[in-house]
Homo-oligomer: A and B are copies of this chain.
Amino acid sequence: AIEAARHADDVYILPGLSIASLGAVKTVLLFSWMADITDLDAQSIALTDHSATSIALLKALCRERYHIEPKYVVTKQHLPSMLADHQGALVIGDDALVESIRHRALSSPNGWDIPFIYDLGDEWLKMTGLPFVFALWAARRETAQAMQAAGVFDALYASTEAGLTDDARNTLAQAYAARLGLPVGACRRYLRDLTFGLGADELAGLRRFLELALDDFKWEQLEFWGSPESLTI
Contact: A185 with B34, CB < 8 Å?
A: yes
A141 interfacial by beta-carbon distance below 8 Å: no
Contact: B116 with A186, CB < 8 Å?
A: yes
**In the bound complex, what is the Cα–Cα distance between A34 and B188 (angstroms)?**
12
Contact: B186 with A35, CB < 8 Å?
A: yes
A56 interfacial by beta-carbon distance below 8 Å: no
Contact: B22 with A129, CB < 8 Å?
A: yes
A70 interfacial by beta-carbon distance below 8 Å: no
Q: Which residues of B contact A103 (CB under 8 A)?
A: 103, 114
**In the bound complex, what is the Cα–Cα distance between A189 and B38 (angstroms)?**
9
Q: Which residues of B contact A22 (CB under 8 A)?
A: 125-126, 129
Q: State which residues 6-65 of A face B: CB under 8 Å.
A: 22-24, 34-39
Contact: B24 with A185, CB < 8 Å?
A: no
A182 interfacial by beta-carbon distance below 8 Å: yes
Tell me how far the C-beta of A167 lies from the nearest C-beta in chain B, rounded to whole angstroms. Answer: 14
Tell me how far the C-beta of A100 lies from the nearest C-beta in chain B, rounded to whole angstroms. Answer: 10
Q: Tally chain A residues at the interface, Cβ within 8 Å.
A: 28
**In the bound complex, what is the Cα–Cα distance between A38 and B170 (angstroms)?**
12
Q: Which residues of B contact A37 (CB under 8 A)?
A: 189
Chain A 181-193, CB within 8 Å of chain B: the 1/0 string?
0111110110001
Q: Which residues of B contact A24 (CB under 8 A)?
A: 23-24, 119, 122
Tell me how far the C-beta of A62 lies from the nearest C-beta in chain B, rounded to whole angstroms. Answer: 14
Q: Which residues of B contact A125 (CB under 8 A)?
A: 22-23, 125
Decide: A35 near B114, CB < 8 A? Known: A22-B125, A23-B122, A122-B24. Answer: no
A101 interfacial by beta-carbon distance below 8 Å: yes
**In the bound complex, what is the Cα–Cα distance between A232 and B168 (angstroms)?**
44
**In the bound complex, what is the Cα–Cα distance between A38 and B186 (angstroms)?**
11
Contact: B126 with A193, CB < 8 Å?
A: yes
Among B102, B114, B126, B182, which residue has its beta carbon within 8 angstroms of that of A23?
B126
Sample of 8 further A-B pairs with CB below 8 A, known A23-B122, A37-B189, A116-B186: A23-B23, A23-B24, A24-B119, A24-B122, A35-B184, A36-B185, A36-B189, A39-B185
